[in-house]
Amino acid sequence: MIGLWAGRHYYELRRFGMSEITILHVSDLHMTQGHLIDIKIILRALYDDLEELRDREFVKPDIVVFTGDLVNAGSNVGEFDLAVSEFIDPLMYTLGLPRDLFFSVAGNHDIDKDKLPKFIANGIRATYNTTTDLNGFLDDLDLKSDSSYFENSYNFRILRDCLNKKHQQEANKLFSAYKVNIRGMDIGIGCLNSAWLASGSEGGFDKGKLLVGERQVDRVLDKIASCNVKIALMHHPLDWLAEFDREDVDNRLMKEFSLFLTGHMHQNKPRMIQNAIGSFFHSDGGTLFNGDRKSYQGYTIIKTGYDKIGVYFRRYIDNASRFDKDVDRAPDGYWEITFASKKSSRSVTNVAPKSFDIDTLIKSMLDDMQSQLKVSFYVSLTCANDISIRQSAIDLETSKKFNLYLKYIAETTSD
């Protein structure tokens, strides 16, 4: 057990360095009472899979992002309650994370489609069909009070604000922005609303008609400009936006964000996208329930640092009631790429990465070991002084004092 732990962390730290975060990306649950029995079967398999990845592979998400369609009908408050009791709370308990590290955006199923009549939605699309016009429209709205155009997401916003006010930089009727510090890195999470003009209809009715707005992206960026890593969440992929808006939003994402995570398509399709303006990593989330346990269900875990991304693909196997490696997406269910680190073009202060606290890092690793051994122990040591870590070649296993520490643990647990 000890050798496995040390070896695995040696590999992970060497591969990614200490400036990494691990993101659980889940999407499209479509929670509903009518399918609750089948949904609970899949969710039980999800929790078991996450526990196994933690115990065997030492893959432990730092945050959870959910990219829309949490419920099946956004008008049904009871479905949001079910989503919390049957999904969000058990998930975060399994991961050992607080609720305020669950970040989400609304999907077309999460809105109350009767709150924005189709003739109004169609009128907005027809009237505000240029960048200037759409920016002007969004500038004129009071997003905190009288924006009746966004009342279709009221039930979703109640849930959103109950979960994670702690890290909110801004949360209004259109978008929300968050900042969270993980091991010395400030992570900015921009939750963009692509569903406010969605019809709620199935199929491709909304494709090429939706609006996000350059101004929405800019306002999110203003709240997280100083962050080392910026992550954009949106339910719909870019090709669901009107052509002019697609180009505007794409350019902003390329220039400022490192990761762009979406849902809606019910398939895991990660890719690195680059043009003359910049680049970002884009991942379409899978689906946790798509109406039938026999159809595709899957999720991803993303490890990202300043210049590297690794993706674990997981797929539900119904005849075994479990998740496993999705080898159809990548060999051995894992894919890794390198990329140039993103530097904000905005004028901000204090944007340099924070120095990493070696003591805190090693203490966290030792706590992991204690959890695996299931014993209580205490060793008085100062990690940075007693454990030698070289950035060029991190080598915990050959550290003399670390080996003495492992010997101590073996002796105290031999009974």
**DSSP summary character for residue 242:** -
Sign, CA dihedral 94-79-22-271, equals positive
pLDDT of residue 350: 41
Pair of tokens at residue 99: 């609720």
Looking at the structure, give the CATH architecture of the domain made up of residues 19-338.
Answer: 4-Layer Sandwich (3.60)
CA atoms of 320 and 212, how far apart (whole Å): 41
Phi then psi dihedrals of residue 411, to 5 deg: -70, -40
pLDDT of residue 270: 77
Mind listing the pLDDT tens digit for each residue in 371-413?
Answer: 444 444 444 434 433 433 333 333 444 444 445 444 545 555 5
Angle at the Cα of 259 from the Cα atoms of 254 and 261, rounded to 5 degrees? 110
pLDDT of residue 337: 85
The DSSP line for 9-51 is HHHHHHHH-SS-EEEEEE----B-GGGHHHHHHHHHHHHHHHH
CA atoms of 77 and 71, how far apart (whole Å): 9
Coil, strand or helix: which one is 65? Answer: strand
Q: Measure Cα distances from 292 to 25, 31, 38, 193, 350 in Å.
A: 21, 13, 8, 27, 49
pLDDT of residue 8: 38
Task: Give which of 227, 212, 82, 213 is closest to 167, Cα–Cα.
Answer: 227
Sign, CA dihedral 182-100-60-369, equals positive
Sequence ranges of the domains in the chain = 19-338
* Residue 352: pLDDT band with limits 50, 70, 90: very low
Cβ pair 198, 114 in contact under 8 A = no
Pair of tokens at residue 164: 């994670």
The answer for 402, left when phi > 0, alpha when psi is -120 to 50, beta otherwise, is alpha
How much is the average pLDDT of 322-326?
96
pLDDT of residue 389: 36
Q: Which residue has the higher pLDDT, 16 or 389?
A: 16
* Residue 347: pLDDT band with limits 50, 70, 90: very low
Mind listing the pLDDT tens digit for each residue in 165-174?
Answer: 899 999 999 9
| Position 16 pLDDT exceeds 80 | no
pTM for this structure?
A: 0.80
Phi then psi dihedrals of residue 83, to 5 deg: -60, -35
CA atoms of 310 and 24, how far apart (whole Å): 12
Task: Give which of 325, 346, 344 is closest to 335, Cα–Cα.
Answer: 325
How much is the average pLDDT of 106-127?
93
**DSSP summary character for residue 315:** E
Most confident of 6-15, 66-75, 270-279: 66-75
Residue with tokens 């900015």: 188
CA atoms of 224 and 188, how far apart (whole Å): 5
Phi then psi dihedrals of residue 275, to 5 deg: -145, -170
pLDDT of residue 359: 54
Cβ pair 214, 255 in contact under 8 A = no
pLDDT of residue 411: 54
Cβ within 8 Å of residue 296, ≥6 positions away = 266, 267, 286, 287, 290, 315, 316
Cβ within 8 Å of residue 350, ≥6 positions away = 226
CA atoms of 118 and 201, how far apart (whole Å): 11
Percent of the chain with pLDDT over 70: 75
* Residue 81: pLDDT band with limits 50, 70, 90: very high
The residues facing 261 across adjacent strands are 233, 283
CA atoms of 176 and 164, how far apart (whole Å): 11
Average predicted confidence (pLDDT) for the chain: 82
β-pairing, 21-26 vs 298-304, is antiparallel
Task: Give which of 224, 233, 276, 282 is closest to 251, Cα–Cα.
Answer: 276
Mind listing the pLDDT tens digit for each residue in 267-302?
Answer: 877 777 777 777 788 998 899 999 999 999 999 999
Mind listing the pLDDT tens digit for each residue in 217-267?
Answer: 999 999 999 998 999 999 999 999 999 999 999 999 999 999 999 999 888
Q: How far is CA 414 from the centre of its chain?
A: 41
* Residue 329: pLDDT band with limits 50, 70, 90: confident
pLDDT of residue 303: 93
Cβ within 8 Å of residue 32, ≥6 positions away = 39, 71, 72, 73, 76, 79, 82
CA atoms of 232 and 174, how far apart (whole Å): 14
| Position 368 pLDDT exceeds 80 | no
| Position 207 pLDDT exceeds 50 | yes
- How big is the chain by its Cα radius of gyration, in Å? 22
Pair of tokens at residue 377: 């122990």
CA atoms of 253 and 258, how far apart (whole Å): 8
pLDDT of residue 1: 39
